[in-house]
Amino acid sequence: METRISDLLGLIFRFPAPWILTGAGISTESGIPDFRSPGTGLWEKMDPMEFASVEGLRRNPRAFFTHGRETIDTILNAKPNTGHIVLGHLQQARLIGPIVTQNVDDLHRRGGAIHYYEVHGHFRTASCMSCRNQVPISEVVNQVDRDQIPPVCGYCGGILKPDVILFGDMMPADYQEASLLASRYQYIPKLMIVIGSSLTVSPVNYLPLEFNRIAIINNTPTPMDYKADLVLRQQIGQVMGALWDEILALNDGKAPEPLPYGFNFGHLIAYLDNEMRFLAGQKTRTTASKESLARHAGYIKADLEAAQSIIQAFPADDRQPLEKAMLQFYLAEIERMKKEFASWCSETGIEPNAEQSRFSKLLQDNFKDNVNAFLTYTDETEPLPDLVEHFAACAAGCFGFWSFSNRIMGQPLPPQEEWENFKKRANDHRVEQDLDQILKLFSL
């Protein structure tokens, strides 16, 4: 078990801020039944078309709302378990990115998550099926308890339906938002960790395809196991609890402070890890000519050297123990990849060209991706202020890291006007924090 937890933590370090996709499996430990588990799943006992479809609601509202009332009770009484709580901690520490959940139980929010997408909706509110008027779920509960079935809208008398997705419904805006945001990041290889989902419900099961790497924690096999870098078939609470213990151990027993914006050393490792995987695949192929392989290997050689210098140059003395441990991990990863690289060269007999590292271009592209992610949120008519601030800070961190890396590599500093343009846009969108402050992490 321990080695597998270390493998999971290694993936999280190597592919920074991985996205999380959760399904019913994470909430069964909170007493919420999984719809699809053989033998115990809710749908083994009842017909989903009756209790979970728009058609069923219209045909037999009494059956729908009587069952729905029980579900609401189960959910309101459920408490977040270790899985939810650890994800909340990890997100607040900026060790993971957004959480996409298929669950409607509100347990990520209640478990401390701050950035999540509820792609199947939630039970906090209900909306009128005729005029879209939205009310708190208590309105539905009160009416049902007074035997007002179906519960109706105070404005127009239309049926009030909880804001969860039923068969026959459109996907909520959260789904489009999550897919759009995931597609914004193109240059740094990215990881999705699937937790407690059987990956059989579309369209959500397509989301992992946006990611270069997948890890899966689920107690039954999924159709994507064959693509995954890591599959853990264990209790989710147990895995997440052990993962958090390992993080605490690396941080002298203390819960970590959020990683500073721009602490992006893992991006270099993610990129190199992907490049090394590409190179390994070239052994058996004959299509790539020796010349182009020698050039490609030359870039990787230069990138490995550059990554090592950049990480070693970072003034880490005052950083928290977790960050120091991460930097040590990255240096060890570079050593591992250098060895692999050397044996690849001797096996193939290819002599790498002398090339310059591609990191400057990569980090520039990554800065642009992050500015675009930030602009995704400012495009919304009702942006979530916290997320706008967060994405602006991420983009600023990317600029800082890019500048720092170029300085260490002896390459020209990023154009100051790129920074000024970004700050102007942030200002136009009423970003309040001091973005220049974020660059101070890298002042030598």
Q: Name which position in 95, 96, 153, 304 contacts Zn ion (CB under 5 A).
A: 153
- 158 lies in the site for Zn ion, by CB under 5 A: yes
Between residues 37 and 134, which has the closer beta carbon with respect to Zn ion? Answer: 134
CB of 57 to Zn ion, least distance (A): 15
Nearer to Zn ion (CB atom), residue 131 or residue 342: 131
Does the protein bind Zn ion through residue 156 (CB under 5 A)? yes
Q: Measured from the CB of residue 191, what is the shortest distance to Zn ion in angstroms?
A: 43
Kind of pairing between the strands at 134-136 and 19-22:
unpaired
**Catalytic option among 89, 120, 390, 429:** 120
To Zn ion, the closest distance from the beta carbon of 75 in angstroms equals 24
Nearer to Zn ion among residue 10 and residue 158 (C-beta): 158
Cβ contact 435:396 at 8 Å: yes
- Nearer to Zn ion by Cβ, of 132 and 233: the residue is 132
Q: Smallest distance from the beta carbon of 135 to Zn ion, in angstroms?
A: 9
Contact between 348 and Zn ion per CB under 5 A:
no
131 binds Zn ion (CB under 5 A): yes
Cα–Cα distances (Å) from 366 to 150, 227, 238, 342, 397, in that order, read 51, 25, 35, 29, 11
The minimum distance between CB 157 and Zn ion, in angstroms, equals 7
Nearer to Zn ion among residue 160 and residue 269 (C-beta): 160
Through-space distance between the first and last CA atoms of the chain, rounded to whole angstroms: 41
CB of 127 to Zn ion, least distance (A): 8
The interface mask with Zn ion, positions 51-70, x = CB under 5 A, is: --------------------
Any contact of residue 206 with Zn ion (CB under 5 A)? no
- Collect all residues with Cβ–Cβ distance below 8 Å to 407 and sequence separation of at least 6: 413, 444
Is 267 annotated as catalytic?
Answer: no
In the region spanning residues 267 to 296, those forming contacts with Zn ion, defined by CB under 5 A, are none
Whole-number minimum distance, CB 54 to Zn ion, in Å? 16
Contact 284, 118 (CB under 8 A): no
Dihedral angle sign, alpha carbons of residues 427, 431, 434, 436 = negative
> Which residue carries 């001091």 as its tokens?
434
The whole-angstrom separation of Cα 104 and Cα 122 is 4
Question: Could you give the C-alpha distances from 32 to 60, 99, 269, in angstroms and in order?
Answer: 24, 19, 39
For residues 306 and 13, give the distance between their C-alpha atoms in angstroms, rounded to a whole number.
Answer: 19
Q: Which of 86, 128, 188, 228 binds Zn ion (CB under 5 A)?
A: 128
Spatial CA neighbour of 265 closest among 309, 214, 299: 309
Distance in angstroms (rounded) separating the CA atoms of residues 314 and 268: 14
Which CB, 155 or 278, lies closer to Zn ion? 155
Residues in contact with Zn ion, counted by CB under 5 A, come to a total of 8
Is the dihedral angle over the CA atoms 390, 330, 87, 121 positive or is it negative?
positive
Rg of the chain over all Cα atoms, to the nearest angstrom: 24
**Interface positions, 364-423, toward Zn ion (CB under 5 A):** none
Which of these segments, 40-48, 158-166, 368-376, 423-431, binds Zn ion (CB under 5 A)?
Answer: 158-166
> Please, are residues 395 and 374 in contact by the beta-carbon 8 Å criterion?
yes
Among 74, 125, 133, 235, binds Zn ion (CB under 5 A): 133
Among the listed residues 155, 167, 206, 278, the single contact to Zn ion using CB under 5 A: 155
| Cis peptide bond N-terminal to 203, omega within 30 | yes
Residue 382 CB, nearest approach to Zn ion (Å): 21
With contacts defined by CB under 5 A, name the span among 68-76, 131-139, 171-179, 221-229 that binds Zn ion.
131-139
Task: Indicate the residue among 20 and 166 with the shorter CB distance to Zn ion.
Answer: 166
| CA 176 – CA 373 distance, rounded (Å) | 14
SS3 content of the chain, % helix, strand, coil (to 5): 55, 10, 35
Please, which residue, 152 or 363, has the CB nearer to Zn ion? 152
Report whether 162 contacts 137 (CB < 8 A).
yes
Collapsed DSSP state (helix, strand, coil) of residue 416: helix
Q: What residues make contact with Zn ion under the rule CB under 5 A?
A: 128, 130-131, 133, 153, 155-156, 158
Catalytic center residues: 120
